[in-house]
Structure 1
Amino acid sequence: MWMVRLALSRPYTFIAMALVILAGGILTILTMAVDIFPEVNIPVVGVVWSYSGMSAEEMNQRVLNVNQRVYTTTVNNIEHLESRAIKGVGIIKVFFQPGTDPDAGVAPLTAITATLIRGLPQGIGPPLIIRYSAANVPIAQASLSSQTLGEADLYDASRSFVRPGLAVVKGASLLVPNGGRSKQIMVDLKPDALAGKGLSGNDVVMP
């Protein structure tokens, strides 16, 4: 009850305080920064390896395990690693210690992976290194299915038609399609004919 008696004895003081709080609230709302995806420091960096046709088990043994062993001994401030392998794709999540700047971890990861490519399966390309943030969290996922087209045709349609159509959207960030099978051309060689022209199988392999 003492607060009520104080308010009744000093009404102008409480009115002034209420006006100050109201003005401060309005000023705060007007000056507050608004962002759909605010910048959140998430100390996680993803390393995505891709090799078309490689099984998940082989991707895990020949690519992911090799990289993880090297990362733990050459990159600083790593808290732990997580990895996942599916057919043709391997993903390594590098979790840094809290408070670590993820940008500082991207540079050593890029340098190390560049040196590791020489010891990985022949033909594998450099990985895609992604810094995780609230701005690149997927907000939409699309899947394709067909009763008449095969996996290779669906993959080609998503990569050649659907993805380019979405890429022109302002602010959109797209990854390569996942799943399906890429189209392949099988060529049978005649070793005797190649030898007659002084060629080997490697000489006719397309880059």
Structure 2
Amino acid sequence: MPTLLHIDSSAVVDGSVSREVTAAFRAAWEAEHPEGTVVYRDLAVEDIPHLDAHGIVAGFVPAEGRSAEQAAAFALREQLMTELEQADAVLIGSPMYNFTIPSSLKAWLDQVILVGRTAGENPSAKGTPVTVVAARGGSYAPGAPREPYEFVTTYLEKVLTGMLGLEVDFIVPEFTLAPSVPALADFIPQAAESKARALEEAARRAKGLAA
């Protein structure tokens, strides 16, 4: 049976646009795969610890040579890497925080990236399709004044494709803060349109994966 690895990283649980769009993708995917499995990681609810020295060193030490601390640290890395390797599709919700991804998502990435296994010349999850919902409060689209400050899709494309060998697509709802920030009030119609397009695209892509 197919498996979807679903990761949400928005610190906001209620009212998060990235969560709403990933939920639409997941619902469409589950409708196409009623007997499929969803492995869900909510990084705002269940913290992934930042990669420490024990976890780094353990990745390059044989199992029998690891200290107790290294073994414990690598056990988490093993679990997270296995979830990625066993997934038939990956779904990631990533809002923009201070021009880049949430630190919780960076922690997950650091744990799963291991050169010689998930990264390198023959990444173990190579070719797995990944859909990233990259929501942002304003607009960082080509031609926008803050286009040069966009470090969400630019970073994730490099790390997911260049290091992990995954096939990544982005869904980008913009102006998500327009309804709540007075300075962005003029962009409320654009926010609604962008969100509607994102929801439609999420459902379409989920169904497309099944096809």
Tell me, yes or no, whether TM beats 0.5.
Answer: no
Q: Which has the larger radius of gyration?
A: 1
TM-score norm. by structure 1 comes to 0.25
